[in-house]
A and B are shown apart, each in its own frame.
Chain A
Amino acid sequence: MRHWTRHPLSTLAFCSIIAVGVAAFFSIRLANRAAISGFTYFDRTLGLRPDLVLTCPSGQFSEEDLYSIQNQLDSIPCVMAPVLETTATDAAQKGDSLNLHQFLVVGLDTFAMSNLIYYDPDSSNESAYHAWKESSHHSQGETGEASYGVVVSQALANKRNLKTGDQMEVIIDDRNTILSILHVSRDEVFKVSHPSTILFMNIVDLQRAMQQTGLSHRVELYFPPGRDKSILMDKAQGNLENNQRWTVDTPQTSLNSNASVTRAFRLNLTILSMLALVVGMYLIMQGMDAAIVRGRMEIATLRSLGITPGAVKTAWLLESLWYGLLGSGGGLILGWAGAQGAVRLVASTVNALYLQSASESADWNHSEAVLALSLGCMASLAAGWFPARESAETQPAEIFKQGRQGGFMTALNKPLLGAGIAIMGWVAAYMPPYPDEHGWIPLGGYTAAFLWVLAATLIAPAGLRWMAPLLQPLTGYHAVFMYAFSQLRRPTGRHLLSVAALTVAVGMAGGMTFMIHSFETTMIHWISQSLNADLYVASQGFGSASSQNRMSKATWQSISNHTDIKRADVGQIFPIDYQGRKTFLTSMPVSNPLDWEYALWIQKPSSSPSASSNTNMPVAVVNESFQSRFDVKIDDLIKIPTPKGYKTVRIAGVFAEYGNEQGTVAVDRNLVSDWFQDERAVNIAVYLNPGADPEEVRNEILSRQTGISIRTNRVLREEVLEIFHQTFSVTHVLQWIAIAVAIAGLTMAMITSLVERQLEFQVMKNLGMTRFGMAMATGMEGLACAWTGFIFGTILSACLGWLLVVVINKQAFGWTLQSAIPWKDHVSLLVILSLFVLASTIPVGWWVSTKRMHKEE
């Protein structure tokens, strides 16, 4: 405690470093959890939650399926309620942006669910069901817009000041729809409240609004309360399982299913979120050593008095633990607050790329808090371990000796060992991925990344010695530079640790930038090759994987018949389950894949189909992610689930696509429409007649067609890239946190080092060096450290970038990316790093040079 009171700033700094690291980790974990847990099937209902949910591999249940389910349930009592879901765009925010506010609209079988009142009158949302019963919920407005009853969440009612009887206008598919508020659902105490983005309708009304009679996406089963409930559920599960027409989900499997879809994304975020903590560990280690240095007289005295080395070590470890506890505690608070912001970023990415997320806030989670707290304490203990051991093992006489050069920290200066570890990493990078039930885990890639980071830690400090000879010729032999570089020739352990931390921070952050830049370059290339139409038409609000707005056949036929339009390619997409994993079935506007202009081929279909023995089989082409996830190859036969049963198709080619990592299989549109009995279109790619002005055609179509948005080629490309950048917004935040921690560490190292060298400063002053000169020397010293870290960090980033692009990304997502080095970003980072280091170290030098020599230290 005495150290804490004497050096409150350094204590605060240690705790802050841990707090930032723990906060980054905790906030990302909470946000991840909220983004995938806030929208499971089991939360999208009013009142009681279903006990089991049946989903269909084709994504849609036929009426025949519903009869079959009832037959399977036989004498088992339960409420069986089909559910239909879609998205609706808020008509109050009409516009062409791809980021329009969307509602998740859940259509419930209110007749069936009114029976739940016998299960639990308190939890059953009786008033909502009565509101539906007692109202005429479907009408046609004077302007032709359909009107339906809707139940809204308390959150939405509060947000928009809505009450029963009010109306709101949304776009469902491509039609303006008036929703009349029948009821505001009450928030459930101690349960997840409905977010403001969810709307509940009667399933029949929603089917009418979507013009899809009889459509349902899942079936919820509610079992009656009582001591035999679990027996009934087990029996039902037993009867329903092993049927290839549906899958039985429990709350846990549903969570796992959502989790598996976003697993790779979340795993990468989690690893990235630990970056600040890893970098922070170097700094804590350095800080602990500084504290030991300050207290070495005391240690020596204690040792002389007979205190055992073990007791000394325990005392220092306890101090580390205290730093860990205090810092982690602060980190949890910071992290929880940060998670509220992070959840929106994570949820927006999940919405854009994966599933519909209704999450708006991240709830506190005890297990995540314990994990983060433990991680913070462990990091602090691990960082304090080496300094504590050194303090205990060093003999008193040696401790009394002044001017020690950093003890254990000089152990970092092991370039040969580092080179050996780097080679091991190279071997690991070529290990095949580890297969599990959800796909591939690039274990070798992660191992290689860890080994290379470790190798960089051991190699980079050695580089500090090479900086002086490198810089000296550039700067000349001015006293300021000579003094600054003299420090590099005999660097302290703190210098070495700072360089190591900076190397790791720059390397990991740079590696991510490398990957993102490669991804962006590849995307731009793909867009330029694939998006060639003049105009792109979609239902208003459609713009992400989670959007379900569609255009009716009447709408797309009307557009296709426009006189200025040469050709209109109608696109459809249906989420399906293939081999138990979520993927997409999309439609090709042509029967011969070779004629599909959208496709950027990785494996081009054969121009002579007779080469295949299955020439009569419908052909499909798959994207790279599908090929990788399901391990398929050309000429393989795959069975696609549809409402009309499983359809066998032959894989004819593989194309590049970066819209999703879950995979896409594309089949002739005529077949897809027939299989799903759905003619609605997700989008239309419009090719104009020569001479037609895209803007004019766009405006002309929009003047007579509501509920759709039309983008020109240029606008679409811009918006695709905008969404792309949005998905990496969390990544950028985490990168900058790590860099900031590393710079803070370097500043701390400089402060500690300079305080130790006050006597040296006094001598320099006596020799005539000005305060400005000393401050500049300090700045140069810091700059040299930063540049050393930057150079080795850049090398590490290139290695990690290659690893991410070629190994990890390919294995986890199935995407082949074109490597591209982000020169501009790297130069920017160098400039920013240099400016920050100068801005932090020069004042430190100035401050130390003004201090009188202290006897105590």
Chain B
Amino acid sequence: MNGKSDLRLKKLPSGRRIFPCTVALLMICLLHGFQAVEGAIKDHAIPKAGHQFEYPRDFGSHPEFKIEWWYITGHLTSEDGHRYGYQATFFRLSPDPEAPTNSDQHASRDLHLAHMALLDLKNKTFSHQERLQRSPWMAFAKTGDMDLKNGNWKLRRLEGIKTPEFELKGSILADVSLDLKLAAVKPLTLFGENGYSRKGADPKAASYYMTFTRLQTTGTLRLKGKSFQVQGWSWMDHEVSSSQLEQDQVGWDWISIRLNDGRDIMAYRMRTSDEKADPYSTVAWVDIKGNASHQPLQDDMWRVVRRWTSPETKNTYPVEIELSLPDQKENTVFRAHLVPLFDNQEMLGHISGIEYWEGACEVLDPEGNQIGEAYMELTGYGGESDLSALK
């Protein structure tokens, strides 16, 4: 989600790792009335290098950490050829360590935020909803395995460890619902040093970062009383952290690309206040076996082609871009044109107050041929309030 998980840690040429600020943390800060985010870390666990990932345990929740999230986006096609895009994100945030947890059971409970969106290209509609729960009967993130709930939104692992199958159920208000099976066809990709992702110079600023870049997706969509089968591909991030936002970051642009040749790309551009990509901006290629290779992302690799202004929020987002990325495998420059399937894919965080753009895109080569599908996330375009929240 926007905030989704955008916590991506990439290895810079200098050997430094970077952690983009996350909308997730921003939202939670706003909702939870956190006044001293910096102080929050001291009582939560800190990701450490050399962590031995164990599955399915690490698919599940890590309540000893302050924040974690599970983020899924995907492109779907119905049997009659209509295209859809979707996003589902589940956040878990442990309480403020300064809350009176000893005497108050409620205050010690995790907070659960979630986002869901569906793009219906046939009807040119974008539906979305945000949810916030604190009660354990309404929402939970179980330990030991992936089993998440936020009202009737559910995400859980069904079977398999190396290439597992997941189930995602959700709805948007009364007239949109989805029931999907997501089967991994590539093994898990661990970003950073074997999944340990440093986020800054401070060794405490780090995360565990796991991604399934290709999930074969089948299931049912129900729109306005009519159910139909769909299939397609999805992307899933799971990240665990107790970190904080960088002071000089004003937002980020993030993409996940699934190329037709079997490779995937994840790239993000951390924006500084002068609208430049800061040194932590990264692009990562994921090969057909799920192995990732990281490179720094320069400003000239990410060129904005077109902007779109939201009629709702008046925010202007750079929704259409051209990428020029070094392709180490081919030893060439990979050029691609990302075109949104629909401009108005803006998420309005009515509860959190955070606005961002999270949209399904088509990936074209310089000749205009479709070479893949993508999801792009654009955050920090909501003005000063968003900026201050990010910090």
Chain A residues engaging chain B, CB cutoff 8 angstroms: 63, 66-67, 69-70, 73-80, 82, 109, 111-112, 114-115, 117-119, 121, 126, 133-134, 136, 204, 207-208, 213-214, 223-229, 231-232
Contacts and interface: CB of A to CB of B under 8 A. Distances in A.
A208 B104 contact: yes
B105 A213 contact: yes
A111 B33 contact: no
Given A70-B137, A117-B351, A111 B132 contact: yes
A115 B31 CA distance: 12
B103 to A, nearest CB: 9
Contacts of B225: 227-228, 231
B134 interface: yes
A75 B350 contact: no
Interface string B147-180: 0000110100000000000000101011101010
B253 to A, nearest CB: 27
Name the 8 nearest CB pairs between A and B, nearest first: A226-B174, A226-B175, A224-B173, A66-B137, A77-B171, A224-B174, A117-B350, A111-B134
17 contacts: A66-B135, A70-B137, A75-B171, A77-B171, A77-B173, A111-B133, A114-B132, A114-B351, A115-B130, A115-B131, A115-B133, A207-B106, A213-B105, A226-B175, A228-B174, A229-B174, A231-B225
Interface in B315-342: none
Contacts of A66: 135, 137
A232 B174 contact: yes
A225 B173 contact: yes
A204 B106 contact: yes
B224 interface: yes
B164 to A, nearest CB: 22
Given A118-B350, A214-B105, A227 B175 contact: yes
B254 to A, nearest CB: 25
Interface string B115-136: 0000000000000011111111
B31 A133 contact: yes
B288 interface: no
A70 B135 CA distance: 11
B173 A226 contact: yes
Nearest to A224: B173
Contacts of A112: 133-135, 138
**Interface SS majority for chain B:** loop
B132 to A, nearest CB: 6
Contact of A74 (B131, B136, B152): B152
Contacts of A74: 152
Contacts of A214: 105
A136 B133 CA distance: 19
Given A115-B351, A119-B173, A82 B135 contact: yes
A86 B132 CA distance: 26
B381 to A, nearest CB: 22
A144 to B, nearest CB: 16
B224 A227 contact: yes
Contacts of B104: 204, 208, 213
Given A75-B154, A224-B173, 16 more contacts: A66-B135, A69-B137, A70-B137, A75-B177, A76-B152, A77-B151, A77-B171, A78-B152, A112-B133, A115-B130, A121-B350, A134-B33, A204-B106, A213-B104, A225-B174, A227-B175
Nearest to B179: A75
B152 A111 contact: no
Contacts of B33: 133-134, 136
Interface in B98-114: 104-107, 111
Contacts of A118: 129-130, 173, 350-351
Interface in B30-67: 31, 33
A67 B137 contact: yes
Nearest to A132: B33
A72 to B, nearest CB: 11
A275 to B, nearest CB: 51
Nearest to B112: A111
A308 B300 CA distance: 106
B155 to A, nearest CB: 13
A303 B107 CA distance: 90
A76 B152 CA distance: 6
Contacts of A208: 104
Contacts of B135: 66, 82, 109, 111-112
User: Among A73, A75, A111, A225, which residue has the most Cβ atoms of chain B within 10 A?
Assistant: A111
Contact of A228 (B105, B138, B175): B175
A80 B130 CA distance: 15
A136 B33 CA distance: 8
Contacts of B169: 75
B107 to A, nearest CB: 8
Nearest to B128: A118
A121 B129 CA distance: 12
Contacts of B154: 75
Contacts of B171: 75, 77, 224
Contacts of A80: 137-138, 151
A225 B171 CA distance: 12
Interface string B206-250: 000000000000000000110000000000000000000000000
B178 to A, nearest CB: 11
Contacts of B351: 114-115, 117-118
User: Among A118, A119, A214, A232, which residue has the most Cβ atoms of chain B within 10 A?
Assistant: A118
Contact of A115 (B106, B132, B177, B224): B132
B86 to A, nearest CB: 16
Nearest to A115: B131
Contacts of B132: 111, 114-115
Contacts of B138: 70, 80, 112
Given A114-B132, A115-B351, A77 B174 contact: yes
A73 B173 contact: no
A232 B225 CA distance: 11
User: Among A73, A126, A232, which residue has the most Cβ atoms of chain B within 10 A?
Assistant: A232
A207 to B, nearest CB: 8
Contacts of A69: 137
A136 B154 CA distance: 32
Nearest to A214: B105
A542 B31 CA distance: 38
User: Among B129, B136, B169, B350, which residue has the most Cβ atoms of chain A within 10 A?
Assistant: B350
A399 B249 CA distance: 106
Nearest to B222: A228
A643 to B, nearest CB: 15
Nearest to A63: B137
User: Among B132, B135, B152, which residue has the most Cβ atoms of chain A within 10 A?
Assistant: B135
A117 B351 CA distance: 7
A712 to B, nearest CB: 39
Nearest to B150: A115
Contacts of A226: 173-175, 224
Nearest to A129: B351
A184 B177 CA distance: 37
A272 to B, nearest CB: 48
A78 B151 contact: yes
A125 to B, nearest CB: 13
A560 B259 CA distance: 79
Nearest to A203: B106
B129 A227 contact: no
Contacts of A78: 151-152
Contacts of A224: 171, 173-174
A73 B152 contact: yes
A476 to B, nearest CB: 89
Contacts of A82: 135
A567 to B, nearest CB: 34
A225 B351 CA distance: 17
B350 A228 contact: no
A772 B203 CA distance: 115
